[in-house]
Amino acid sequence: MSQTVQPLLQVNHLRKNFGAIEAVKDVSFDIEPAEIVAIVGDNGAGKSTVAKMIAGAYRRDGGEMLWNSTPYDPTQPDDARAIGIETMYQDLALVNDLDAAGNIFLNREPMRRIFGVLPVLDRGQMRSRSADILRRVKIELPSYDRPVRQLSGGQRQAAALGRILLSDRARLIIMDEPTAALGVQEQRKVLDLISSLGEAGIAIMIISHNLEHVFSVSRRIVVLRGGRLAGVVKTAEVDRQHVVSLIVGGGA
Ligand X SMILES: Nc1ncnc2c1ncn2[C@@H]1O[C@H](COP(=O)(O)OP(=O)(O)O)[C@@H](O)[C@H]1O
Residues in the chain, how many?
A: 252
Measured from the CB of residue 181, what is the shortest distance to ligand X in angstroms?
A: 16
45 interacts with, out of Mg ion, ligand X, none, CB within 5 to 8 A per kind: ligand X
Question: How many residues at the interface with ligand X, by CB under 6 A?
Answer: 11
β-bridge partners, 62: 15
Nearest distance in Å: CB 247, ligand X: 11
Q: Fill in the per-residue mask, 7 to 46: x = in contact with ligand X (CB under 6 A), - = not in contact.
A: -----------x--x-x-----------------x-xxxx
Close Cβ partners of 155 (under 8 Å, ≥ 6 residues apart): 100, 141, 142, 148
- Give the integer Cα–Cα distance in Å for 154 and 181: 9
Q: How many CA atoms lie within 13 A of 183 on its CB side?
A: 5
Residue from the set 11, 35, 48, 203 that interacts with Mg ion by CB under 5 A: 48
Using CB atoms within 10 Å of the CB of residue 2, give its burial: 0 to 12 exposed, 13 to 18 middle, 19+ buried.
Answer: exposed
Gap between the Cα atoms of 74 and 65, Å rounded: 9
**Minimum CB distance to ligand X smaller for 55 or for 126:** 55
Based on the shown chain and the rule CB under 6 A, indicate whether residue 178 belongs to the binding site for ligand X: no
Under the criterion CB under 5 A, does residue 87 sit at the interface with Mg ion? no
> If you count DSSP H runs as helices and E runs as strands, how many of each does the chain have, helices first?
8, 12
248 binds ligand X (CB under 6 A): no
171, 85 Cβ separation under 8 angstroms: yes
Per-residue interface string for the shown chain with ligand X, residues 117-146, x marking contact by CB under 6 A: ------------------------------
Nearest Cα to Cα of residue 104 among 45, 192, 30, 166: 166
Alpha helices in 69-152 (DSSP H): 77-83, 100-104, 123-136
Q: Is 179 in the site for Mg ion (CB under 5 A)?
A: no
Residue 218 in the binding site for Mg ion (CB under 5 A): no
157 binds Mg ion (CB under 5 A): no
43, interface contact from Mg ion, ligand X, none, CB < 5-8 Å by kind:
ligand X
Q: Which of 29, 37, 48, 204 binds ligand X (CB under 6 A)?
A: 48
Binding residue count for Mg ion, defined by CB under 5 A: 2
Q: Which residues bind ligand X (CB under 6 A)?
A: 18, 21, 23, 41, 43-49
Q: Which residues bind Mg ion (CB under 5 A)?
A: 47-48
